[in-house]
Structure 1
Amino acid sequence: MSTSSKNLPLTLIASILFAIAFLPLGTGFLAYFTIVPLFFLLEKVTLTDAIFYGYLFGLLSNIFSLFWIANATLPGMVGAVLILALYNIIFFVLYWLIRRKSLTWAVVGSPFLWVAVEWIRSHGTLGFPWLNLSHTQASYPVIIQFAEFTGEMGISFWLVLVNIGFYLLLKWKFKRKSIVILASLILLFAVPIAWGIHRLHKNPPEDTGFRVALLQGNVDPYLKWTKSFQKENFRLYYSMIQEAAEKKADFIILPETATASYLTHTRYELREYRQLVDSIGIPVLFGSLDFRDTDRRRYYNAAFLMHPTRRTLDRYYKIQLVPFSEKTPLADSFPFLYDIDFGQGNFSSGTEKTIFRVDGYRFATLICFEAMFPELVRKFVVKKIDFIVNITNDGWFGNTPGPYQHLFACLLRAVETRRPIIRCANTGVSAVIDPMGRITSRTKYNEKTILFANVPQKLKTTFYTRYGDITGKLSLSITGALSIIFLILARV
């Protein structure tokens, strides 16, 4: 088989390994090999090949990994994978550029290139960090503990180094010089595992004794917005709040858009919920929608905290909206995009990083997709919060990998910040995650239930929380420097 005839199988193998590594089946170890076929593919390709196979790998890996978005919006899924695939071209072209002059520099630079692409893909209006390679390791607590220093980008960087090791072992066919590579691979695994073991057994998080009730209503997301179901939806959560109160919860949490209404503009529901909260004497966090009376053109995905005997509601408006689902990217700059129907909403982004207070505890509320963004979470944590709440409605995606991938991202946020995460999901998976990234209690997907749990104690502020994503920014800078140097060398 010629070199060119191997390119398509290598692309397909890499795409399949990539997608399977993201499945909630404990298959994250496949990420140790997923880039290896790409290194072999990029050994002898033209610029045109690098662009073509970069896009093809991006297209296939995204389709295999994000197919479940089609359950909510097929046009949105198509738009997402077509755009997300473009980012992979950056890695392929830059690796090709450096590889032309130096295999050594291409290999050494590849972790920086990969992480730089992830950083770019994770920021801005089109920000979508869902498939950052680090997420494949979230179910391995002993591996991910060093994220308290590096953030998730450091885990991605480490994974590329591991892939380099296996690539060189195969390339050199286990000859004598492979001993150094083998030793390096052993060290690459030994260091994070040793730190993980040490961290997991040192000062395990204590129990605060603060008892939360997570109401998993398991409401069909398509049914709950129908007018005929509004009263039944209200009765469902009303009765669940009563049950949670009877079982001595200190704080009750409802999932994203649980009210299926504009709560502050729905007089009957608002009045009834206020009377209920006053009667039980327990604060309740509601997921709902909202708009300002002064500007009805702006609609928000919101969270409201209702305190007993207090007339005003504390509120938070979702800041990071889901592209092609909650809002069309760049539509404010290019209004014609509003006319393209992806089945998306038309929400506005919030601007305030609200910190809620309950019984002496300070917490932030992340709505759905926001849990995927380490930097956004970090900005909440520096405000000296005690725990993080994530309310979400993953029912749109059904019992697919999507809801579990979303859950796994929360494990990384817990480790990065050493803050417990309380996750309330409409259809599941609701969970309590300790600061070590371990799930201490959880529900099943697609069940109506109330999860009662005590909030774990927070740990000390991490290096990552203090100083931010140094790994990502450093990788971006080094990638820029390498690109300039090798563009100049290409002209010589």
Structure 2
Amino acid sequence: MKKNFFLSILSGLLLGISWPTFGITFFIFFSIVPLLIVLKNIGQKKSKFNWLKVLSLSFLTFVIWNLITTWWIVNSSFFGFIFAISVNSFLYSLLILIYFETRKFLPKFGSFILFVSLWISFEKFHTIWDFSWPWLNLGNVFSEKISWIQWYEYTGSFGGTLWVLVINIFIYLLIDSKYKSRKIIVLKVLRIFILFISPVIFSFFISMNQKKKEKSRNFILIQPNIDPYKEKYNLTNMDNLRLIEKMTTGNLGESTHYLITPETFFSEENGEDIDQISTSILTDSINKFIDKNESMNILSGIQLYKFIYNKDSINNNSIKLNKSVWVNFYNSAILYNSKKNYQVYHKSKFVPGVEILPYKSFFKPLIGNFMLNLGGTVHGRTPQKNRSLFVSSIGDKFASIICYESIYGSFVRKFSLNGAEFFTIISNDAWWGETEGHKQLLSYSKLRAIENRKSIARVANTGISGFIDSNGNIYSKMEYNTKGILKNNLQLNNNITFYVKYGDYISRISNLMLLILLTIVLSKVVKKNI
């Protein structure tokens, strides 16, 4: 038991210290091996409590992993920290328990296919349900090693997950083998090396053959560095507009195509009424500012709301004010330009418990509005169903991805399918302070650039703002906790990658394999009990 205990700790430590943006990525390739050894050791001894041993020891592994990688959640809320760490760890432990209980009904090779399929299917599930938290999906681990994974344009991040799991399994098989022949052992090690180096070489050739994009635009990114706890919600929208004018004085010109501000930059009180924003003081003032710089498009984060007077028009996130009035709140991006026809996109992926109450119809009667408090807002947010694009005054089509949305590969690819020529990411990462949280969110943006082969202009309230090319390289940035502007060019293209076209096909194959294998397991269980 003591040996299994230390192996579980070792697995958690290896997973944790391999993670971006502080870890040694190579450790990920044998991080799960100790846990697989634990499962073997427990399985060798028959006991009706084996399931409890597996659940508790794997839970220990995943708690350590979660603590090392996402401890910074505690900066926003201690309850949120406890909830996020414990629930995510338990879900991964449940995955391991399911594998442990079902593998005995399959041959060795089949059991490992089950392990891979189960893990990938769970990661996919973790991107689509209400408690979605794909922060620790294994494919994200390579966000600081982009030279290794240029092939994400074909596989998406699930290709990285598959790579990690396969190599872990082969290393485990090598350790578990009883080969005495040195020649066989060398061949097994060589096979593992080939499994590692082949994707890296393939990635190198892909990056060497990338064509330079000819079309480019000039951008100015505003990093206001406003403290979200003390300053942000004491400022009026007009205060923030004057801040833009002050920070850009002497930096605007006819060559300036885009000026971008962070998420919820305009967030005075409850926000702007979406039905009256076209005639609002804010819109009028921004239009006057644009009249002095007619070639410029201003994209900004904004908080909006909409009153609803017809019960048939409300949704699950609508908030009831009285018997006949409801309100929807939106975390949005808004585009202004010389054409005077503003465009809006509403954020559609939300941090569970902060911007949206998961499974609201179930939890709301039980706990009201009390849930996770990760430094966000008290109102639920209403999502937008479609992945709409902005069209600039010069005809460019682009997406504005808002903060948390940027960690969802399949979600982001839909903007490319709809014709986006580049991405903007607007964010407010200040809630977690000077930790790995904001660094990891920036790092994951590089994966979206590679998957879609789109350049990205990323703007964050307190940083890190920057420009990312279509190979995932950050070629210009402004450091965290710095106030200023960042100017540079961004290349545009309308290419559609294999991944954009076909999406998460690896997870779909995994789902199919999992269904087949679980059907086989179920049939054997039924036969055994007849």
TM-score range, shorter chain: over 0.9
**Cα drift, residue 427 of structure 1:** 1.1
Deviates most, 145-154 or 262-271? 262-271
Task: Give the Cα separation in 2 of the matches to 1:240 and 1:285.
Answer: 16
User: Which of residues 355, 358, 362 is equivalent to 1:326?
Assistant: 355
**Cα drift, residue 234 of structure 1:** 4.0
**Cα drift, residue 248 of structure 1:** 4.2
**Which residue in 1 is equivalent to 2:383?**
349
Task: Give the Cα separation in 2 of the matches to 1:61 and 1:26.
Answer: 12
**Which residue in 1 is equivalent to 2:141?**
136
Task: Give the Cα separation in 2 of the matches to 1:466 and 1:226.
Answer: 41
User: Which of residues 198, 209, 228 is equivalent to 1:202?
Assistant: 209
**Cα drift, residue 206 of structure 1:** 2.8
Deviations 1:128-148 (A, max 9, x none): 111111111112122111211
Report the CA distance shift for 1:227/1:72 in structure 2 as closer, same or farther (over 3 A): same
Deviates most, 257-266 or 402-411? 257-266
**Cα drift, residue 88 of structure 1:** 0.8
Deviates most, 250-259 or 435-444? 435-444
User: Which of residues 57, 60, 71 is equivalent to 2:61?
Assistant: 57
Structure 2: which 5+ residue stretches go unaligned?
43-49, 310-325
**Cα drift, residue 212 of structure 1:** 0.9
Report the CA distance shift for 1:419/1:42 in structure 2 as closer, same or farther (over 3 A): same
Deviates most, 33-42 or 57-66? 57-66
User: Which runs of structure 2 are paired with 1:286-435 in the superposition (5 Å)?
Assistant: 286-294=300-308, 297-310=327-340, 312-336=341-365, 337-343=367-373, 345=377, 346-358=380-392, 359-435=394-470
User: Which runs of structure 2 are paired with 1:42-81 in the superposition (5 Å)?
Assistant: 42-45=39-42, 46-81=50-85
The TM-score, its normalising length taken from structure 1, stands at 0.93
Contact 2:307 2:328 in 1 (8 A): no
**Cα drift, residue 75 of structure 1:** 2.0
Task: Give the Cα separation in 1 of the matches to 2:253 and 2:206.
Answer: 38
Report the CA distance shift for 1:341/1:461 in structure 2 as closer, same or farther (over 3 A): closer
User: Which of residues 27, 33, 36 is equivalent to 1:36?
Assistant: 33
**Which residue in 2 is equivalent to 1:193?**
200
What amino acid is the match of 2:368? Answer: Y
Task: Give the Cα separation in 2 of the matches to 1:178 and 1:338.
Answer: 60
DSSP-derived class of the 1:280 partner: coil
User: Which of residues 476, 499, 507 is equivalent to 1:441?
Assistant: 476
Task: Give the Cα separation in 1 of the matches to 2:52 and 2:515.
Answer: 21
Report the CA distance shift for 1:203/1:309 in structure 2 as closer, same or farther (over 3 A): closer
Task: Give the Cα separation in 1 of the matches to 2:469 and 2:476.
Answer: 10
**Which residue in 1 is equivalent to 2:504?**
469
**Cα drift, residue 26 of structure 1:** 5.4
Task: Give the Cα separation in 2 of the matches to 1:481 and 1:332.
Answer: 34
**Cα drift, residue 231 of structure 1:** 6.0
Q: Does residue 165 of structure 1 match 2:163?
A: no
Q: Does residue 88 of structure 1 match 2:92?
A: yes
DSSP-derived class of the 2:361 partner: coil
**Cα drift, residue 459 of structure 1:** 6.5
What amino acid is the match of 1:381? Answer: S
Contact 1:241 1:252 in 2 (8 A): no
User: Which of residues 490, 501, 518 is equivalent to 1:455?
Assistant: 490
**Cα drift, residue 156 of structure 1:** 0.4
Task: Give the Cα separation in 1 of the matches to 2:100 and 2:235.
Answer: 58
DSSP-derived class of the 1:453 partner: strand
Structure 1: which 5+ residue stretches go unaligned?
none
**Cα drift, residue 157 of structure 1:** 0.6
Deviations 1:6-57 (A, max 9, x none): 2221222211221222231352222112111111111132222222223333
DSSP-derived class of the 1:445 partner: coil
Contact 1:256 1:391 in 2 (8 A): yes
**Cα drift, residue 269 of structure 1:** 3.3
Report the structure number with the largest CA radius of gyration.
2
User: Which of residues 248, 256, 263 is equivalent to 1:249?
Assistant: 256
Deviates most, 378-387 or 295-304? 295-304
DSSP-derived class of the 1:391 partner: strand
What amino acid is the match of 1:355? Answer: L
Report the CA distance shift for 1:5/1:480 in structure 2 as closer, same or farther (over 3 A): farther
User: Which runs of structure 2 are paired with 1:268-279 in the superposition (5 Å)?
Assistant: 268-279=281-292
RMSD: 2.2
Deviates most, 448-457 or 52-61? 52-61
What amino acid is the match of 1:5? Answer: K
Contact 2:420 2:494 in 1 (8 A): no
What amino acid is the match of 1:186? Answer: F
What amino acid is the match of 1:440? Answer: Y
User: Which of residues 293, 296, 299 is equivalent to 1:280?
Assistant: 293
**Cα drift, residue 229 of structure 1:** 7.0
**Cα drift, residue 103 of structure 1:** 3.5
Q: Tell me the number of residue pairs that the alignment of Structure 1 and Structure 2 aligns.
A: 488
**Which residue in 2 is equivalent to 1:97?**
101
Deviates most, 331-340 or 11-20? 331-340
**Which residue in 1 is equivalent to 2:47?**
none
Task: Give the Cα separation in 2 of the matches to 1:349 and 1:77.
Answer: 25
Report the CA distance shift for 1:231/1:75 in structure 2 as closer, same or farther (over 3 A): farther
Task: Give the Cα separation in 1 of the matches to 2:220 and 2:246.
Answer: 13
DSSP-derived class of the 1:42 partner: helix
The TM-score, its normalising length taken from structure 2, stands at 0.86
**Which residue in 2 is equivalent to 1:214?**
221
DSSP-derived class of the 2:156 partner: helix
Task: Give the Cα separation in 1 of the matches to 2:458 and 2:180.
Answer: 50
**Cα drift, residue 232 of structure 1:** 4.7
Deviates most, 438-447 or 176-185? 176-185
Task: Give the Cα separation in 2 of the matches to 1:156 and 1:448.
Answer: 37
User: Which runs of structure 2 are paired with 1:260-271 in the superposition (5 Å)?
Assistant: 260-261=267-268, 262-263=271-272, 267-271=280-284
Task: Give the Cα separation in 2 of the matches to 1:299 and 1:244.
Answer: 34
Contact 2:352 2:372 in 1 (8 A): no
DSSP-derived class of the 1:245 partner: coil
Task: Give the Cα separation in 1 of the matches to 2:451 and 2:211.
Answer: 16
What amino acid is the match of 2:70? Answer: L
Task: Give the Cα separation in 1 of the matches to 2:286 and 2:250.
Answer: 14
**Which residue in 2 is equivalent to 1:486?**
521
Deviates most, 349-358 or 263-272? 263-272
Report the CA distance shift for 1:357/1:483 in structure 2 as closer, same or farther (over 3 A): same
